[in-house]
Amino acid sequence: MEKAEFSAIIDYLNRNWNKPWEVEEEMVKLLYQSKIPRLIELGRTAIPTEYGPMTYIVFGDYATGKEYDVAIFGNFTGKKLRDYNYPLVRVHSSCRTSELFHADNCECRQELDFALKQMSKEKKGILIYLNQEGGGNGIKAKLTAYNNTFGLKKGIVIVKKDKKGRQLNVYDGYEKAGYKSEHRDFDPAAAILKTLGINSVRLMTNNPNKIEGLASKGIKVKPFGIHIKPTNGIMRKHLITKAKKLGHSITNKDLN
């Protein structure tokens, strides 16, 4: 490989880790011009899970090089879910710290578990798992933001404070590092739903941006509230900040 080509790849990867949304925007434009569909189904299979039987589908995204996981509850064997009128749907963004390592500064793992249990109960539902870490800013941004927010003191994780002595939150951490608090893109989720033949959903969320994100792409959305009780003080503050800063519908009842 020529050195220039190699440098171009390194440059691409750096931009992808630093600013994934910029790469995505450019790629979406190119795909549109080339009339190439953004998503491709990589495969599907039935899997037994503790939540019950699922059809597991993985889509690849040409714009980001990412993979998106989809879990479908119900006796689904065809290509399209035509009889799924307003099914329960959760569009969940990956949070490796919470879901893999059970970090308890945010509620992501509990939300995922709640959604899967609810779908299992109804024996119908679609969970779309979007690989977009750190509020869409990428895992590199998340590490920086968390490092701006948390520290280790005598073996205990502490929340850092600003000059006025106010405890910081992860959104402060993102902004300090030059990122937006919310940079997620719900277009792939809308595209996945349309590919599956779904035009209406009961969306499990308290996030107005997510409702708007799907509605703007022609999906009819009925909100289905999702309420997670915080398990500790850091998570509680995180939920309060989320409500104030991003307009999530989280009430006092949810917090206590």
Q: How far is CA 105 from CA 102, 156, 165, 168, in A?
A: 9, 14, 20, 12
Q: Which range touches Zn ion (CB under 5 A), out of 24-32, 59-67, 83-91, 103-111? A: 103-111
Among 63, 81, 89, 106, binds Zn ion (CB under 5 A): 106
Other CB atoms within 10 Å distance of the CB of residue 68: 23
Binding of Zn ion by 108 (CB under 5 A): yes
Nearest-approach distance from CB 121 to Zn ion, in angstroms: 24
Q: Select 96 or 176, whichever has its Cβ closest to Zn ion.
A: 96
Binding of Zn ion by 130 (CB under 5 A): no
**137's tokens:** 């800013």
How many Å from the N-terminal Cα to the C-terminal Cα in the chain? 59
Q: Which range touches Zn ion (CB under 5 A), out of 43-51, 71-79, 94-102, 248-256? A: 94-102
Other CB atoms within 10 Å distance of the CB of residue 244: 12
Binding of Zn ion by 95 (CB under 5 A): yes
What 3-state class would DSSP assign to 192? helix
∠ CA 89-91-93, rounded to 5°: 155
Residue count (the chain): 256
Q: Select 55 or 169, whichever has its Cβ closest to Zn ion.
A: 169
Nearest-approach distance from CB 245 to Zn ion, in angstroms: 15
Nearest-approach distance from CB 138 to Zn ion, in angstroms: 14
Other CB atoms within 10 Å distance of the CB of residue 123: 11
Among 98, 110, 207, 241, binds Zn ion (CB under 5 A): 98
Q: Select 112 or 193, whichever has its Cβ closest to Zn ion.
A: 112
Strand-pairing partners, residue 130, are 93
- x/- site string to Zn ion, residues 175 to 214, per CB under 5 A? ----------------------------------------
